[in-house]
Chains A and B, each alone.
Chain A
């Protein structure tokens, strides 16, 4: 009997180990770097990114009686639990399910905002935002411009989980920011963790332009920080310098920021060089000044993103840098991105611009 139990528990431990290895291999291509700086003083509490987003929406629903939260499966808390408990707290007419139709969700949200309400729409995965592309690109983004400022839908924020999650395959992994970066009138924002998620989401909700808020879904549970309890916002259109150095500028957003922070650490440890690491945060409009000022100082730049290379947002950044920093550049701007292929299932470890690919590119950059 005893030996059976031992044997069984041995098996169990092996199994757990195996699963942990798998998860490690599949979903942790990065090490999370928590934010140390607090954007505001005051009480904090430990939250993961899902809880921080929930907290931002909770504050909005509490303080803005016109605010509404809707999408597929948000009533019971959402498939990622970001809306957990909000329907119980604010009622079925403020937090509710819609039919399964993304173009309807976006159009409905635009209408709410046109009539003066604050609309927080959820698209279940960024991969499924494309049916709403027409409503977002042709309607939301152009509403103020085409009416001469008579009408707008600035009260609209579209939240959607994006990017790699370890095993999402083609339609649970995409990073569609570059598609939207080509649309004047939109704001596109990506947070890197709980503190930025809360502050940037509250800014998006209050901003008088329609916003697409992309939430790297792998961070929902894996990222935890001491998040200020009170209401605070972080500026849109502003990048943040997270680490300083003089050897090169590393630019990324979302999960990729943590990959770049680790690469900067590797460079310091193994190459003995220090790098600027910049979290762009706002993809559109983006903070040209912060990036260019850094590149003028370092003379080298590496941009990394999960989305495919060709026409990815890295192209826009690289082109701007060569235009603004031409005389300061010591090497061509390097881009490390997803390959120009659909996001694959079993090949994810080879597809992502992980720390080793970024490290190699940085190595080439400093030795150019």
Chain B
């Protein structure tokens, strides 16, 4: 019995060897001197020369643009031929945004709101991308994309209410200023932790893809600094491997607070990471609203039809300070800022483009600037008068239903306020 088993074992082993020999012979293309390799991790040929690759092994990814600094179309076949109303809505949104930035920035300096972040120099990216999207597309923003909110139809009043945290803020005064969100317009509420929205946008895109006859995509905005976060890497990789209809839109404005891009990365910007992770990628001039429009429009069509993600790196310059808590003259020259304010301003370029088309003139510009300014001033005066939400809103929405322990804490605070109300600013808040 044991002998027989032993013999069978021997026989099997011989057979296995024979199979192994045979199998090597059936793959004549596998060679140790050049030829095709068969590793599961990569499809690539063999080479016999040892050579490292680095950032200089490839040409830099070029920057796509449609108009020059004088607002002229460089190549007529790239003219998106956007209708008049859309073009004017785009420009007016840019002006409205810059007026809102100017006045709210000043109001922070006067201590009327606690914090603010401007969008100067980046308005073109906001309206160019927003115009190319459907209002149903879901937006995940970082914080410097307010032009997208305005373009979609969020009013100055709603934005200002958020900055003041009054009772008309849909966020109920819980977050810092500029952390906007609007469910009705498909704008997911902004949060401060950088890049966290990126893998979330990818997940949301996966959910949309599974809906029958899906005609929506997700766009996710992030800065060049946020792209260094681990979540950015996660998002690129998940988007590619899980086939998600998402546009990952990087605003590369040269700085992350005080850190220049030379200290942020050593490769060819953010765009060069795209192809290496299996993303359709393009680099565009972010100061050219028409280039942004063309890129996002095509990205949208591609991503919805193929469920393949797209990475867009829009090059621009952060003209304003990082925030009201930052003085950027501490780490960059005024000449540098000046150049981007005058020669390379998206608003200026776009205005010249509209004027060439005969859609706009200096008088219209003056009038709209004034009207925009008045809207903000009037809205601010109203927002200031509105009371903040009831203090009890502090403990609502933590959970869908309030757990007993939080109910108890609310009662404790109520009791405390009954006794010590004079020490709290209750008159600024709504009451029962």
Q: Which residues of A contact B (CB under 8 A)?
A: 1, 66, 68, 93, 96, 98-99, 101, 103-104, 106-117, 119, 131, 134-135, 138-139, 142-152, 154, 184-185, 187, 207-209, 237, 285-286, 288-289
A351 to chain B, nearest CB (A): 31
Per the bound structure, the CA–CA distance linking A146 and B258 in Å amounts to: 28
Q: Is the CB of B193 within 8 A of A115?
A: no
What A residues does B189 contact at CB under 8 A?
A: 143, 146-147, 150-151
Query: How many interface contacts (CB-CB < 8 Å) are there between A and B?
Result: 156
* Known A101-B234, A104-B234, A151-B188; further 13 A-B contacts with Cβ < 8 A: A98-B242, A99-B234, A101-B230, A101-B237, A107-B234, A112-B206, A135-B196, A142-B191, A184-B398, A184-B406, A285-B399, A285-B406, A289-B404
Closest to A116 in B: B207
B237: which of A99, A115, A237 is its contact (CB, 8 Å)?
Answer: A99
Q: Which residues of B contact A (CB under 8 A)?
A: 2, 138, 140, 169-172, 174-175, 179, 181-183, 188-189, 191, 193, 196, 198-208, 210, 230-231, 233-235, 237-238, 241-242, 396-400, 403-406
Task: With A110-B200, A111-B207, A288-B405 as known contacts, state yes or no: A208 contacts B238, CB within 8 Å.
Answer: no
Q: Is the CB of B206 within 8 A of A111?
A: yes
Q: Is the CB of A150 within 8 A of B181?
A: yes
What A residues does B230 contact at CB under 8 A?
A: 101, 103, 131
A205 to chain B, nearest CB (A): 14
13 examples of A-B residue contacts, CB within 8 angstroms: A66-B210, A101-B234, A103-B199, A111-B206, A111-B207, A114-B188, A117-B207, A119-B203, A143-B189, A149-B397, A150-B183, A184-B398, A285-B405
Q: Is the CB of B203 within 8 A of A139?
A: no
Q: Is the CB of A104 within 8 A of B231?
A: yes
B255 to chain A, nearest CB (A): 23
What B residues does A96 contact at CB under 8 A?
A: 242
Closest to A4 in B: B2
Per the bound structure, the CA–CA distance linking A131 and B230 in Å amounts to: 9
> Which 3 pairs between the two chains have the least Cβ-Cβ distance?
A111-B203, A107-B199, A104-B234
Per the bound structure, the CA–CA distance linking A131 and B233 in Å amounts to: 13
Q: Is the CB of A115 within 8 A of B203?
A: yes
B397: which of A115, A117, A145, A207 is its contact (CB, 8 Å)?
Answer: A145
Closest to B175 in A: A146
Per the bound structure, the CA–CA distance linking A140 and B398 in Å amounts to: 11
Q: Which of A109, A119, A135, A150 has the most CB of B within 10 A?
A: A150
Q: Which of B170, B171, B172, B207 has the most CB of A within 10 A?
A: B207
What B residues does A110 contact at CB under 8 A?
A: 199-200, 203
Per the bound structure, the CA–CA distance linking A288 and B198 in Å amounts to: 38
